[in-house]
Amino acid sequence: MNTIELRQDEENSTTSISNTFIDTYMPRANGEFLKVYFLLARCLHDHSAVSLASMADALHHTEQDVKRALQYWADEHILHLDFDEEHNISGIELLPLKRKETAAGMTPDETIYPEQEKTPYPVSETPKKISYTPKELAARLEANHLNQVAFMADTCLGKPLSINELNTLYYFNESLHMDADFIQFLFEYCCSRGKKNMRYIEKVAVSWYEDGLRDLNTAKSRLTPSVMDAPVVSAKAPAKNRFNDFEQRTYDFDDIERRLIAKVGTPGAR
């Protein structure tokens, strides 16, 4: 019988994940933490240099999200973190995986996890977002003096906010307890880094909330100084373009209404 030779034109482009990891560590881990571990395995396969910023960009996370995930896996003893003198992460070492011991006579569901005796990894309770109708939302934005903030956000993102995005903006104020100045700072922070996506901005806001950054002064004191030098996005009229670069007309809508009613009441008028 003739044998068939198998060949592949490209190099092996797969990343292997240990069965021990899948069986033992994966079921208990947060999905966001899993993504960070999988990306680390992928980078290790390619011998790629990584940074918190590059990992955050690849996963659409914030750098704080990545830090939390790395600390979680360090607490699980499957990686070791090195820190420099300024307490920044300078090295990551993936450690050998160890399968948890199973007590004699117990079923797999009754497996003993010694690490469970330690304090669980802290996860703050994040308020849930509530969706409002356009009419309700307009009233709430007006009542909380957020219309100028919404206009500033339009300018920052380079487009009018959708209803969903306005809901998110109000969520920052109502549920995450961010005042108008703090919300403006949030948009300036993200836009100065080229991040003009509302989903990313929401992740940053939630991350700050979970880290205890509940007011503008605390945020400014704990964030990097470079943020303070970012250009301020002012709530001013949009720059002229080919769609609005002309003399703007003003209309007396009451007068127009009166003339229309008079015309409809005139015999022979259509």
d(CA 113, CA 106): 13
Q: For the chain, what percent of residues have pLDDT higher than 70? A: 69
Q: Name the pLDDT band for 185 (thresholds 50, 70, 90).
A: very high
SS3 176: coil
- What the block records as the tokens of 188 is 């300036």
Q: At which residue do the structure tokens 């002309």 appear?
A: 246
Quote the pLDDT of residue 6.
53
Is residue 187 packed enough to be buried (19+ CB in 10 Å), middle (13-18) or exposed (0-12)?
A: buried
User: Residue 229 pLDDT more than 50?
Assistant: no
Question: In Å, how far are 104, 146, 201 from 192, measured between CA atoms?
Answer: 58, 21, 12
User: Residue 40 pLDDT more than 80?
Assistant: yes
- What the block records as the tokens of 87 is 């307490």
Quote the pLDDT of residue 100.
59
- What the block records as the tokens of 243 is 């769609």
Quote the pLDDT of residue 94.
86
Question: In Å, how far are 248, 255, 257, 259, 263 from 252, measured between CA atoms?
Answer: 14, 5, 9, 11, 17
User: Residue 13 pLDDT more than 80?
Assistant: no
Query: Which position has the higher pLDDT, 218 or 148?
Result: 148
Average pLDDT over the chain reads 75
Range list of H helices, 76-197 = 134-143, 147-157, 163-174, 180-191
Quote the pLDDT of residue 104.
41
Q: Name the pLDDT band for 105 (thresholds 50, 70, 90).
A: very low
Q: Name the pLDDT band for 82 (thresholds 50, 70, 90).
A: confident
Quote the pLDDT of residue 228.
44
What pTM was computed for the model? 0.45
Q: Name the pLDDT band for 2 (thresholds 50, 70, 90).
A: low
CA-nearest of 98, 97, 95, 101 to 113 is: 101
Cβ(157)–Cβ(128) below 8 Å: no
The strand pairing partners of 81, in sequence order, are 92
Q: Which residue spans within the chain are E strands per DSSP?
A: 79-83, 89-94
pLDDT tens column, 120-149: 444 456 888 888 888 888 888 888 889 899
Cβ(137)–Cβ(167) below 8 Å: yes
CA-nearest of 166, 177, 83, 71 to 123 is: 71
* Side chain identity at residue 15, one-letter code: T
Neighbours of 255 (CB within 10 A): 9
All structural domains of the chain: 19-117 (1.10.10), 134-228 (no CATH)
145: left (phi over 0), alpha (psi -120 to 50) or beta: left
Beta-carbon contacts of 204 under 8 Å, excluding residues fewer than 6 positions away, are 62, 186, 189, 190, 195
Quote the pLDDT of residue 113.
39
